[in-house]
Amino acid sequence: MATELPRKEAAVIGVGWAGGIIASELAKDGIEVIGLERGAERTVDDFIMQKDELRYAVRYDLMQDLSKETLTFRNDRDMRALPMRQMGSFLLGTDLGGAGVHWNGQCPRFLPYDFEIRSQTIDRYGEDKIPDDMPLQDWGISYEDMEEYFAQFDATIGTSGEDNEMTAPRSTEYPTPPMVETPAIRMFKEASSDLGLHPYQGASANLTEAYTNPDGQTIQQCQYCSFCERFGCDYQAKSDPIITVIPTAKETGNFELRTHANVRRISYDGEYTDGVYFIDTRTGEEFFQPADMVILTTYVMNNTRLLLESEIGTPYDPDTQSGVIGKNYCYQIMAEAQGYFDQQFNLYAGAGALAGQLDDYNGDNFDHGDLDFIHGGTIQLTQTGIRPINTNPVPPGTKQWGSEFKEANAYYLFRTLSVGSQGASMPYVNNYLDLDPTYTDRFGDPLLRMTYNFTEQDRNLAAHQTQRMEEIMQEMGANEIVANPDIGDYNIMPYQTTHNTGGVIMGADPETSAVNNYLQMWDCENLFVVGASAFPHNSGYNPTPTVGALSYRAVEGIKQYYENPGPLA
Amino acid sequence: MADENDEQNSGISRRQFLKNSGYIAGGLVGGGLLGGVFAQNFLGTTDAPDIDTDDEVDTTSPGELTQARMFFKRQEDFDVLSAAVERIFPDDDTGPGAISLAVPYFIDKQLAGEYGFNSREYMEGPFFEGAPTQGPQTGLLRRDAFLHGVRTIQNIAEDHFDESFFDLESETQDEILEAFEEGEVDMTGIASDEFFSKLRTATIEGAYSDPVYGGNLNMDGWRQIGYPGSQMSYTNVIEEEEFVEMDPVSLHDHHE
C-alpha cells in the first residue's frame, strides 16, 4: 500500500529546465508546488573538481544509470528491439537539474517557419512537397505568439548573442554581449562571407559578463576553460536550473523538493488525474502524492513512457496511423566536414556555445523548389575546447595505434578544424515510441521502445549540408577535407546529439496531437506535459530555448487553469 | 569522427598471414609462412616491459606506492597486458610510451572498479545478437573480456612462436595485435576486434586522462601532444593568433 502524503496544489515530475521554470513561476504566484525528482540533490559545490575528461566525458558521471533503466531500440518494425546497454548516440541526464546541467549552452530560437511548417510548405511549394509518410504538422501556435516566452527564457538565463538577418526576430536585446571571436571562428566567418553567406556569433548561455536575472539570480562570466558539455560549470558561468530557476522556486517558500522520488504512475480516472505514485529509491517505499494539477516535465523518453504506463491518451498505432502518444519521435541529422591545416590553433581553449554560425541553409531560408527535401540545418564552427581522450583527429588512412598514430595525433590535434550541421528531423510514420514487450526496468515496468531510422528526406538533407560545408572548408583553405555525405542507418552507439524530440506532441487538433498549445493534455485537463516531447518535428537548431519558451507558455496556461479550471483551447 | 566509445566494430576480413598459416582457434601452428617469417625471433632479442619489482623501487615516491595490482592476479597476465599496450602506445620520438606512463596500472585500476563490472550499464537478459546499429549486446563483463583477451594473446604467442608475448620482437607482437584488430582471432563472448578496440581505447584513456587515475604519469601523456590539462581560465589565450604553449595542470593542482 502506498503511503499517502499531504495534498499539494501542483506536483511537478522531474526538476530540470522545464520543471524548474514551472515550479519557480507557480511558486512565485503563491501556488504550493512539490517537485518530485528521481535523482539526487545537486548543488554548485558538486562541480568543484569537474575538469576531468575521463570521469565526465567518457564515463558519463552526470548521466542516467542504465543498469536501472534504459530503452530498447530497433531501426524498423521487422527488427527485434534490443536494450541500449551502454550510452552512446545521446546522453540522458540524471539528478537535480537534469540534462540542463550538462548542456553546452547553445541558445538559438526555432524559426517562425518551424511553428507553421506544414502551412508554409504547402503555401510555397504545394501539397505534393510533403511525402505521404511524413506526418508534418503545424504546432498550433505561431512564432509571433511564442516570442514573449522566448524573451522570458532569455532574460532568465542571460543569453549572449548578436542579431542576424537569418534568425528569428526578437522583441528584446540579448541580455549579454556575444562571445569572443577566436582565430578559427574568424576564418569560418570570413570564408562564409566571401561565399555570400551570413555568419554570426552563436547565441550562448556561457555568459560573457556577470548577469543578474529578473529573479535576482546571478550567472558569472565564462572563462573559456573548455569544460561545458557533459560537465557542470565550476564557475556558475553556464546558466543551468541549479543556479537560476530552482533557487528562485526555493526562495518563495512555496516549493518543496523531494529527491530520490521516482514516479511510476500518474493516477488517472479517464478524465482527470488526482496525483502520482512514486517510489523512494533509497528505501523502496511507495508513496501517493495527491495534487490538484500534475505537470510532467521529465526528459522526452520518460514523458512518453509515463503516459503509456499510466494509460493516459491513445497510444500511436503505426498501422492505422491513429493515436498520438509516441507519435512523431524525431532526432537530428548531423553532418560534418573536417579540415586539416598547417596552422596551429589554441583549440584546447573554448566554451560549449562558442561558435561562428550561419542559417542560410536552415529552415526555409533557401529555396527548396528543386531540392528533394525540406528544411535544413544551422552550420557552425564550434570551439567547445578539445580534450585529448575523445579527440584524436588523425587524417584518414593513418594507422589507429602505434608510433604512426602517436605522431599524427600530436601533429594534427591543434591543426584540425571541424564544421558541423545540425540538420532538422522530419517525422515519419514508422519512427515512433511505444512500450517494449520484453525488457523491464528495476521495478519490473516495461522499458520504452524506440523504432527509428533515417529516411530519404534525412539522407538528402545530410548530403546537401555536407556539400555546403565542404565549400566553406575549401574557402577556409584546408589542405585536406574529410566529409562523408552518406549517413547510412541510424546507429544507437556513436555519439550524435542529445536532441531527441516528440512523443507527446502539441497541436490544434486532439486527433493528431496529445497536448494543446498550453501543453495541456487533451485527454486529461489537469495534466500538463512539457518538454521537447511536445515538438511535432525537430528543427535544425539546439532545442533548449524552445523547451524554455514552451515552459513559460505552459506556466501561463497552468495559472489560467488554476484560476478557472477547464480546457484552455 | 570515430567515437572511442563504440566498442562494437564489425567487418571481419581474414588477413593473409593467418590464412596462409592454417591457423585454427585453440592454437595449431600452421605452415611455412609463420615459421619462415618469424623463425628469426626464436633467437630472441626481447622487448619485454620493465616490470621487475624486486629491485630499486623508490618507495618514497607516493606515485609508485599506488603501483601494484588491484585486479590482475597473475603476473603473466599483467606482463602480457603491459607489452600489448606498449605496442599500441610505444615509447618513441613523439614521447614516452604506455609503460612509462603507467598505463598498465591505469587499466588494472579501472578493471577493479565499476568500469570492470559494467556497473552503470543495462546487463539484464535475454541476450540476443543484434544488428550492428544496436550496440553491444554481450553479457560478458569488461574484467572478464580483458582477462580472456590477454590470455588469448599469450596463447597465440606460445602456440605459434613458442615464446611469451612479452618476449617476442615488437614486429611480431604487432602482427598478433593486428590479427585481433582485424577480428581474425576466435574468442568466446566477444569478437577479437571488439576486444582490441576496448584495449586500444583503454590505452588512450590511460595515456591522456588526468594522472589521478594512475596513468599519464607526470602528465607526460599530455606534454607530448601539447595539451595543457585542466587550466582554470583561458581568457588571456582565447583570441590569440599564435599558438600558446604552457605547462599542464592536473586535478591535483585544484585540490590543495
Q: Summarize pLDDT for A131-154 with one digit per residue, the tens.
A: 999 999 999 999 999 999 999 999
- B122 and A85 within 8 Å at the Cβ level: the answer is yes
Closest-CA residue to A421 (of A479, A478, A471): A471
> 10 Å Cβ neighbour count for A365?
18
In the predicted model, is pLDDT for residue B35 greater than 90? no
- A180 and B238 within 8 Å at the Cβ level: the answer is yes
CA distance A338 to B1: 9
For residue A487, the Cα-to-chain-centroid distance in whole angstroms is 21
* A499 is known as an active-site residue: yes
What is the maximal distance between C-alpha atoms in chain A? 71
Place of cell 507553421: A116
> 10 Å Cβ neighbour count for A562?
17
The domain over range A3-44+51-563 is classified in CATH as 3.50.50.60? yes
Place of cell 528584446: A172
All three cell numbers of B220, joined, read: 607526460
**Nearest 5 degrees, angle CA A272-CA A276-CA A279?**
165
Q: Are A427 and A454 in contact (CB under 8 A)?
A: no
- B6 and A226 within 8 Å at the Cβ level: the answer is no
CA distance A305 to A145: 30
Q: How far is B194 from chain A (nearest CA, A)?
A: 14
Q: What is the mean pLDDT of residues A77-90?
A: 98
Share of chain A above pLDDT 90, in %: 99
In the predicted model, is pLDDT for residue B49 greater than 70? no
All three cell numbers of A480, joined, read: 585536406
> 10 Å Cβ neighbour count for B16?
8
- A406 and B92 within 8 Å at the Cβ level: the answer is yes
First to last CA, chain A: 37
Q: Which of B122, B135, B225 sits opposite A88 (nearest CB)?
A: B135
CA distance A38 to A265: 13
In the predicted model, is pLDDT for residue A155 greater than 90? yes
**CB pairs under 8 A, 24+ apart, for A363-366?**
A363/A111, A363/A113, A363/A114, A363/A424, A363/A539, A363/A540, A364/A111, A364/A113, A364/A120, A364/A121, A364/A124, A365/A111, A365/A166
Burial B22-45 (b: 16+ CB within 10 A, else e): ebeeeeeebeeebeeebeebeeee
- Kindly list the residues from chain A whose CB atom is less than 8 angstroms away from the CB atom of residue B174: 402
Interface confidence: ipTM more than 0.90: yes
DSSP classification of residue A291? E
User: Which residues 79-98 in chain B show a CB within 8 A of chain A?
Assistant: 87-90, 92-95
- Residues pairing with A298 in the sheet: none
Lowest mean per-residue pLDDT among A157-171, A283-297, B57-71: B57-71
In the predicted model, is pLDDT for residue B15 greater than 50? no
- Kindly list the residues from chain B whose CB atom is less than 8 angstroms away from the CB atom of residue A443: none
Distance of CA A105 to CAs A52, A109, A157, A227, Å? 19, 12, 10, 12
Q: What is the DSSP string of A429-461?
A: TT-EEEEEEEEE-TTSPEEEEEE----HHHHHH
Q: Which of B1, B134, B251 sits opposite A52 (nearest CB)?
A: B251
Confidence (pLDDT) at B256: 65
pTM of the model: 0.92
- B228 and A348 within 8 Å at the Cβ level: the answer is yes
Strand ordering across the sheet containing A432-440: A82-83, A71-74, A446-451, A432-440
CA distance B135 to A426: 24
Q: Is B236 on the interface with A (CB under 8 A)?
A: no
Omega before A214 within 30 of 0, i.e. cis: no
All three cell numbers of B6, joined, read: 563504440
DSSP classification of residue A242? G
Domain ranges of chain B: 16-127+135-228
All three cell numbers of B189, joined, read: 563472448
Confidence (pLDDT) at A310: 98
- Counting Cα atoms < 13 Å in the Cβ hemisphere of A99 gives 23
Q: Is B68 on the interface with A (CB under 8 A)?
A: no
In the predicted model, is pLDDT for residue A215 greater than 80? yes
- B88 and A402 within 8 Å at the Cβ level: the answer is yes
Q: What average pLDDT is seen over chain A?
A: 98
CA distance A275 to A10: 9
> Please, where are the H alpha helices in A241-354?
245-251, 300-310
Q: Are A170 and A147 in contact (CB under 8 A)?
A: yes
Q: What is the mean pLDDT of residues A500-528?
A: 98
Q: What is the pLDDT of residues A9-27, one digit of tens each?
A: 999 999 999 999 999 999 9
- Kindly list the residues from chain A whose CB atom is less than 8 angstroms away from the CB atom of residue B121: 66-67, 85-86
Q: Which of A86, A349, A493 sits opposite B237 (nearest CB)?
A: A349
Domain ranges of chain A: 3-44+51-563
Q: CB-based burial of residue A165 (10 Å sphere; 0-12 exposed, 13-18 middle, 19+ buried)?
A: exposed
Q: Is B239 on the interface with A (CB under 8 A)?
A: yes
Cα nearest neighbour of A347 on chain B: B238
Q: What is the pLDDT of residues A356-389, one digit of tens each?
A: 999 999 999 999 999 999 999 999 999 999 999 9
Q: Which of A73, A338, A409 sits opposite B225 (nearest CB)?
A: A409
All three cell numbers of A531, joined, read: 518538454
User: Which residues 129-158 in chain B show a CB within 8 A of chain A?
Assistant: 130-137
All three cell numbers of A212, joined, read: 543578474
Q: What is the pLDDT of residues A389-435, one digit of tens each?
A: 999 999 999 999 999 999 999 999 999 999 999 999 999 999 999 99
- Kindly list the residues from chain A whose CB atom is less than 8 angstroms away from the CB atom of residue B124: 83, 439-440
In the predicted model, is pLDDT for residue A439 greater than 60? yes
Confidence (pLDDT) at B60: 55
Q: How far is A466 from chain B (nearest CA, A)?
A: 14
CA distance A428 to A363: 18
Residues with Cβ within 8 Å of residue A356, at least 6 apart in sequence: A181, A185, A186, A188, A189, A192, A199, A200, A201, A202, A380, A381
Q: What is the pLDDT of residues B60-93, one digit of tens each?
A: 566 678 899 999 999 999 999 999 999 999 999 9
- Residues pairing with A83 in the sheet: A72
CA distance A122 to B197: 49
**Amino acid type, A508:** A
Q: How far is B223 from chain A (nearest CA, A)?
A: 10
All three cell numbers of A280, joined, read: 523512494
- A410 and B6 within 8 Å at the Cβ level: the answer is no
